[in-house]
Amino acid sequence: MPDKLHPLALGHRLWAMAMEPTLAHLMRVKSKLTGSTKVPSTVPVKHNRDYPLYDWMTRHNAVLEYNKTHKSDLVWIGDSIAHRFGGPPTDETPPTGQKVWERYYGHRNAVDLGFGYDRTENVLWRIEQGGLDGINPKVVVILIGTNNLSIGSAIEAGLGVYAVVNAVHEKLPQAKILLLGVLPRGEKPDDPIRTKVEELNSTLSALQMDNVTYLDAGKGLVSEDGRISTDMMPDFLHPTEKAYEVIAQNVEKILKGWFPK
């Protein structure tokens, strides 16, 4: 409450979360909350931040239409790092890794459900609103959480990622899930955000769940001195085409065992 009276977006969300269990009971529907995860990262919410490169809701609707007419054996779901990989359905976002995508996933009926600037709660909303309906993929690759670290703790981000994994598993129980660790970010090894990434990935790597495999896909993105070079990540967050090649090679170590040649 910047004026100590009127809530901003986060204030409204916390207010709604406080009311939601009672409203769900009165409406005789399942609550979105549980006693152990009353944190914003686990509550489905529509994207409510400005992102100049594309229209979030238009992309969501494009995904729904794409899924009606295309077979998808492989799904990537996540934030801008997945989005900029450049797989279909494409939009005006710069497809930095599109050549890499085509080389590794073009023959696998792959769909790119990355949305720029998404946090776990936005992915949960997309899944809840039909983002995975009508498809029956063999594999779902999840890469989400880095934007949660920009506003909250590694613990809260981890709870959000767990919620996404559970939502995907409930929607697509037969699919194998490849859970990727959040990519390293921040130029230097002692950058505070780098420390949070390592803490989050330590939590994710310990996740024990049927059909879920964890992978540190960021190996090779950091130099021997612990720094991230601009030829890998110009802003120390988003991969270049060279970095996407490294990521794809790491992921391929798992995928090649799950897809027939």
Tokens of 54: 């594309």
Q: Going by C-beta distance under 8 Å and a sequence separation of 6 or more, which residues neighbour residue 207?
A: 162, 165, 179, 214
Q: For 90, which DSSP code?
A: P
CA pair distance 186, 242, nearest whole angstrom = 18
- Residues 177 and 172: their CA atoms lie apart, in Å, by 9
Longest CA pairwise span in the chain (Å): 61
| The pairing of beta strand 176-180 with beta strand 139-143 | parallel
Active site positions, annotated: 80, 235, 238
* DSSP type of residue 129: T
3-state secondary structure of 77: strand
- Cα separations (Å) of 117 from 48, 73, 79, 120, 182? 10, 25, 6, 10, 14
Please tell me the distance from the alpha carbon of residue 211 to that of residue 178, in angstroms, as a whole number: 8
Instruction: State how far the alpha carbon of 112 is from the alpha carbons of 39, 132, 180, 223, in Å.
Output: 27, 11, 15, 28
